Amino acid sequence: MFRFENIWALYGLVLIPVFIILFLFILRWRNKNLLKIAELPLQHIVLPQLSKTKIVWRFVFWLTALSLIVIAIANPQFGTRLEDVKQEGIDIMIALDVSNSMKAQDLQPNRLESAKQAIGRLINNMVNDRIGIVIFAGQSYVQLPITSDYGSAKLFLRNISTDLVQTQGTAIGSAIDLAAQSFDQNSKTNKVIIVITDGENHEDDAVKAAEKAAEQGVRVFTIGMGSESGVPLPIINNGNVVGYYKDNDGNTVVSKLNTTLLKEIAAAGNGVYVQAGKNSSALNVAMNELNKIEKKEYGSRKYTDFEGRFQFFIAGAILLLLAETSLSERKSKLLQRLNLFNENKK
């Protein structure tokens, strides 16, 4: 098998025709200046040491060396062997709250975006673990099935918003149930659900759902988004706050973090509760706990070991540059004598 490690470097080869055109222009300009000194048939007499071919060879050597350097930077690689590599990790389902209360701005820019940033950092620190995403408000949906494709996970994560679930509310229990069902049931890996929410549960018994998950061997972690003192719930229009939600009595709705409930869910689910703050300390706590969980094999994949061959192209470029440097534009003494002999013979 063959590939270029840095295929972007090959764009440097587009400079080759540019240099050729520039060289032809310079060569034409040089020949015009020579004609001012002597007509073409007399140039080898007036300028006996000048070689018209060596300048071309010097350019060819230099241009070829440049091409080899570009290819060396791209680093051609050849695959030497294929082998099965065991994949070991844990399975993590993220249950992410996308209800309107996640628009609250006690975390910047708001609770939901702060949660998405935390999930992104979690993905960046994953090695061989698998991840899936469930979104929930009044209902729950699988946004991303369990996968080891971190690129796809980030793509799905970017598209999450409060508009994805039309039924409002915060049904944490149903989200835990759906996340538990979404694991690969045939896999023997350790499984974790991470519920990321402000904890304003209005729909079901989330603690009981966590207990049920724990009975199935699934641990339930919770990450609290927001502040216990709470903030007014904003109305957003085109990215700007245009007002705040009011209740039936005309009072401003204040959204508060329900720390008590989230701690109860984590305790029932044999997990850990952490509260998100303005820095990444809460995420670090969660990641440290995840790293303590035993990683188990869930499959294997073919791995190709590639070896770079850039050194051969570098060596060729060095040799050509040395040849170009040593090649004078003057004719050799032998060629000068032959030209002089032919001229005298005439």
Instruction: Please state, in angstroms and rounded to a whole number, the distance separating the CA atoms of residues 68 and 61.
Output: 11
Digit-coded pLDDT (tens) for 276-307: 876 666 777 888 888 888 888 777 666 667 77
Amino acid at 11: Y
List per-residue pLDDT tens for the chain, 346 residues long. 788 889 999 999 999 999 999 989 988 887 776 656 655 554 455 445 555 677 788 889 999 999 999 999 999 988 666 666 777 889 999 999 999 999 999 898 999 999 999 999 999 988 889 999 999 998 999 999 999 899 999 999 999 998 898 888 889 999 999 999 999 888 888 999 999 999 886 667 899 999 999 999 999 999 999 998 889 988 888 778 888 888 888 889 898 999 999 999 999 999 999 998 766 667 778 888 888 888 887 776 666 677 788 999 999 999 998 887 877 655 445 444 444 444 444 4
Task: Please give the full DSSP string across 29-91, using - where no structure is assigned.
Answer: HHHHHHHHHS-GGGHHHHSTTB-TTHHHHHHHHHHHHHHHHHHHHH-EEEEEEEEEEEEEE-E
The predicted structure's pLDDT at residue 80: 67
* Burial category of 185 from C-beta neighbours within 10 Å (exposed 0-12, middle 13-18, buried 19 and up): exposed
Pairwise CA distance, residues 107 & 105, whole Å: 5
pLDDT score for 44: 52
Are 303 and 82 contacting, i.e. CB atoms less than 8 angstroms apart?
yes
Nearest to 58 by CA among 316, 319, 325: 325
Strands, E assignment, 137-215: 140-147, 191-197
What is the reported pLDDT for 63?
93
Domain boundaries, the chain: 2-75+309-345, 85-301
pLDDT at residue 58, as a whole number = 85
pTM: 0.64
Please tell me the predicted confidence (pLDDT) of residue 16.
Answer: 92
- 85-301 adopts what CATH topology? Rossmann fold (3.40.50)
Q: What is the pLDDT of residues 230-244, one digit of tens each?
A: 899 888 887 788 888
Contact, 191 vs 93, CB < 8 A?
yes
Report yes or no: 180 and 215 within 8 Å, Cβ to Cβ. Answer: no
Backbone angles phi, psi at 336, to 5 degrees: -65, -40
pLDDT at 338: 43
- Residue 61, number of CB atoms within 10 A of its CB: 20
